[in-house]
Structure 1
Amino acid sequence: MGAQTNTQRSFSKLSKSLPTLKHLFDHDPFTNKPFGLTNIVLQDEILSIISFCSSMALPTTSHELKRFKLTHLFTVIKTSKKPLHRDVLSSVMSLISINLFRPLPPPSPAFPITSSTLAEENEVVVCSTIPSLNWLQLEVVYDILLWLVINIDTQTLEKHIDKTFLLGLLSLFDSDESKERESLKNVFHQMYYKFTKYRSFMRKAMSGVFLEYIFETERHNGIAEMLEIWGSIINGFAVPLKEEHKVFLKRILIPLHKVKGMQSFNKQLSYCVYQFVEKESELGGFIVRKIMKYWPQANSQKEIKLIEELEDLVEKLDPKLYRDLALPFCSHMTKCFKSLNSMVAERALYIWNSEAFVTMVYSAMEEVFPVIIRGMENIITSHWNENIKELAHNVKAILQEMNPILYHKTLHQNRFKYFEATQIHRL
């Protein structure tokens, strides 16, 4: 019995004397002194973790253990007082690559990624709120990668992160796991600012994804996240804007307004567009005209989003552009005023609460009054929704107060033209 107790004490002393993985990371990796037992334990423990966590075909019962080991590795890395040895860093980067770079499942045809139907979008959201076992492990891998990008010097990281690695990350934006896309966005964003020599390449690579989405597939999960990165990039553009940056606006941001699933990334897309207008206000007129060109024909939710975006754009425009833009813009909005979809018509009519829009109308009253008044008369006499009719009466009151003489003159001319048209029709 006494011998057994002594043995237990000996093993206890031995286990306490063995260096931990954290201690090994804190050990100077560039010393010329032999590592001895320290080196053996370091290699064994690191290789054991990496070997175990590099397997993507673990049984379900091992998933929690894998997450535990990854978390342990991350804790050691981020609490280390000494720089990571180059061999250790290489092994960790290998672990990251093996876990992150995997084939993504194809999008389910039952739930299109950019569906414009609210029911389908709700289905996707409900499913994505339940974290998968795989994501619980990947989350730690992304945390490790983000920590390395933030804390390791650029020159050292560039030995492990090249264009192939960046393209691999970019492909993961199509993941159907929203939490993964959020983590990926943070990592990719940090890399953009860390690796200045790769910035042009990263912009072109993202542009390629956008172009494929717009003109070929119209299916991608990560458009919103990539646009969010672009919003920050555009914010950092110097003025005057380079031609390549304007090309991105014209060939990618504007055409993104025409895709069916625009509602899923409208907020991020609008922010990118606003950034361009704030940097060069003369681009505003071009943007407004192009958005009107891509107007949807049978998608009321998309129409409402675009009306909101146009209203915000008008408020950001240089007032010098109002007069030239007034007639095409007011003609377009009048079509929205008359929409048989009451939600579209109501949202469009609320644009009269915008001081900028009223100023635009005032800047070109002679041209726009006939169009708007004719539209209001049409609503009052033939629209099916009483609330829309009431709003049309309110608009007429605004116009009459704005310029009573021109209002009555235009009203009389419109009614006379209508009378003439009916007489000709009878003949």
Structure 2
Amino acid sequence: MFNKIMKRGQRKPSKSEAIEPPIPTSSTPNVTVNHASRLAAASPQPVTLATVPQNPGTVEALPMLRDVPLSERHVVFIKKLQICCFLYDFSDTMKHVRQKEIKRQTVAELVDMVQSGSCKMNEIMQEELIKMISVNIFRCLPPASHENTGSEAGDPEEDEMFMDPSWPHLQLVYELLLRYVVSSETDTKIAKRYLDHSFVLKLLDLFDSEDMREREYLKTILHRIYGRFMVHRPFIRNAINNIFYQFMFETERYSGIAELLEILGSIINGFALPMKEEHKLFLVRALIPLHKPKCIASYHQQLSYCITQFVEKDYRLADTVIRGVLKYWPITNCGKEVLFLGELEEILEVTQSAEFQRCMVPLFRKIARSLNSSHFQVAERALFWWNNEHIVALIAENRHVILPVIFDALEKNIRGHWNQAIIGLSSNVRRMFLEMDAELFEECQRQHEEREGRAGQLEEQRVLTWKRLEEAAAQFTDDDKMDFA
């Protein structure tokens, strides 16, 4: 092991290592050199974050990197990273004001440096940079301000948005990480040693932050990491999968589900055909069950996009997806039912006739129930399906199956729904079927009248049965009274 370390310490500099660590001199007595991972008996040890001072009061502003000689730039760079490792209490705006401003200016300078590519970083500098970023962003998140477990999430536009008081500084650190990941100067072979699986997992944990600004940065950074580091792609997909499982089956509370689904929407869009079995299992086991939680409104738009992308990629998945959505169909949640109806309309727009025929009977049984909903928005959303030309074409092609399923629901709406708009829309749909196939329409109407007649007879029989029971009970009571008398 010692020989390996010796060889590593004596390796030739690569092109990316344009700035080598200088030998410490007496002019920098306060700099401790101690990098345990790169010890070499015959070579000097570079400055590291292991010697970060613990007293924030000792922070001093350093000269700009562009004003420092090239031979000393590495030492100044590490010192700047040390300054950026100080953590302050940002809830108290009057505490450590000067030190906070020095840190802000230092991080901003590092962002400009990485973005411009004016100072190429060697491997040691990159490692220390990631360590500094980790110290700042990987932290315990504050307790959730509200619990979604067991209750429906509120409207995100009406709820008061959480604003992290440390965000002005955190944003610069996130910007630095983003610029490092996307920089053309960043060698992915070196960077992947520090942006490893452990780093990615900690990054994913931060998606539970209630600060929407932080989640937006995390979404962009993770997406860029997924794009540049191919070795991490399966791991990232599996890690997101596990977050979904924990959310669905344990907590039903996680702030970043929508952002993770946005990343997945882009990933799914890039899937090659034929689609791998792994991706189909992800659809069935993770994405479709995401329809179950009550707080689906907070991420339904992104979920619907992901689901539709799968069907667009492979039209044969339409039947699986539609049956999966029907499995989690809400019974008493009208707002959720409206969302499902909109999602199914989007799915049907990319569904072909063969797949539609496999699931049309259970699908339109659900639609018949929605048509008769006492909540006018649910019935209205279902009736709006007949404004979609593609869906109307599918219905017309299979009218002999669909019309008998929903005819009773249409008639019930026309005769007795409380909302005049629903009555008018139901009449329009009824007229469309009449124009499609008058003979089929008349047959369905005849069968409907027969069912109504039988239902009337059954109701009369039920009333007579109860009347006889009441008379028998009354007679029994009178006999009891005579016996006691």
TM-score where L is the length of structure 2: 0.77
Q: Is the CA contact (8 Å cut-off) linking 1:107 and 1:113 kept in structure 2?
A: no
Q: Is the CA contact (8 Å cut-off) linking 1:327 and 1:364 kept in structure 2?
A: no
- Cα pair distance change 1:35/1:363, threshold 3 Å: farther
Say which is worse superposed, 59-68 or 87-96, in terms of deviation: 59-68
Q: Is the CA contact (8 Å cut-off) linking 2:22 and 2:74 kept in structure 1?
A: no
Q: Pairwise CA RMSD of aligned residues? A: 2.4
Q: Is the CA contact (8 Å cut-off) linking 1:181 and 1:225 kept in structure 2?
A: yes
Matched, 1:94 2:131: yes
**Deviation string, structure 1 residues 118-139 (Cα, Å, up to 9, x no partner):** 45x3343x424xx433111111
Question: What secondary structure sits across from 1:256 in the alignment?
Answer: helix
Distance in 1 of aligned mates of 2:278 and 2:403: 40
**Deviation string, structure 1 residues 180-229 (Cα, Å, up to 9, x no partner):** 11111111111112111111111111110011001111100101111111
**Deviation string, structure 1 residues 95-139 (Cα, Å, up to 9, x no partner):** 100001001122223x538963545x3343x424xx433111111
Say which is worse superposed, 136-145 or 323-332, in terms of deviation: 323-332
Query: What is the Cα deviation at residue 340 of structure 1?
Result: 0.5
Matched, 1:340 2:358: no
**Deviation string, structure 1 residues 322-351 (Cα, Å, up to 9, x no partner):** 333222222211111111101111111111
Q: Is the CA contact (8 Å cut-off) linking 2:148 and 2:252 kept in structure 1?
A: no
Q: What's the counterpart of residue 73 of structure 2?
A: 42
Q: What's the counterpart of residue 143 of structure 2?
A: 106
Rg larger in structure? 2
Q: How does 1:167-206 map to 2 (within 5 A)?
A: 167-206=201-240
Q: Is the CA contact (8 Å cut-off) linking 1:370 and 1:411 kept in structure 2?
A: no
What number of residue pairs does the alignment pair up? 397
Distance in 2 of aligned mates of 1:259 and 1:28: 53
Q: What's the counterpart of residue 327 of structure 1?
A: 361
Distance in 1 of aligned mates of 2:380 and 2:123: 63
Gaps of 5+ in 1: 1-25
Q: How does 1:45-194 map to 2 (within 5 A)?
A: 45-58=76-89, 60-61=93-94, 62=97, 63-109=100-146, 112=148, 116-119=152-155, 121-124=156-159, 126-128=160-162, 131-151=163-183, 152-194=186-228
- Cα pair distance change 1:65/1:341, threshold 3 Å: farther
Say which is worse superposed, 33-42 or 207-216, in terms of deviation: 33-42
Q: How does 1:226-305 map to 2 (within 5 A)?
A: 226-305=260-339
Q: Which amino acid aligns with 2:457?
A: Q
Distance in 1 of aligned mates of 2:337 and 2:161: 27
TM-score where L is the length of structure 1: 0.87
Distance in 1 of aligned mates of 2:358 and 2:116: 61
- Cα pair distance change 1:357/1:206, threshold 3 Å: same
Question: What secondary structure sits across from 1:60 in the alignment?
Answer: coil
Q: Is the CA contact (8 Å cut-off) linking 1:323 and 1:363 kept in structure 2?
A: no
- Cα pair distance change 1:261/1:104, threshold 3 Å: same
Q: How does 1:383-422 map to 2 (within 5 A)?
A: 383-422=417-456
Distance in 1 of aligned mates of 2:93 and 2:280: 50
Q: What's the counterpart of residue 345 of structure 2?
A: 311
Q: Which amino acid aligns with 2:170?
A: L
Gaps of 5+ in 2: 1-15, 28-68, 462-485
Distance in 2 of aligned mates of 1:245 and 1:57: 44
Q: Is the CA contact (8 Å cut-off) linking 1:114 and 1:218 kept in structure 2?
A: yes
Distance in 2 of aligned mates of 1:149 and 1:36: 36
- Which structure has more helix as a fraction of its residues? 1
Q: Which amino acid aligns with 2:120?
A: P
- Cα pair distance change 1:220/1:114, threshold 3 Å: farther
- Determine what percentage of the aligned residue pairs are the same residue: 35
Q: Is the CA contact (8 Å cut-off) linking 1:114 and 1:262 kept in structure 2?
A: no
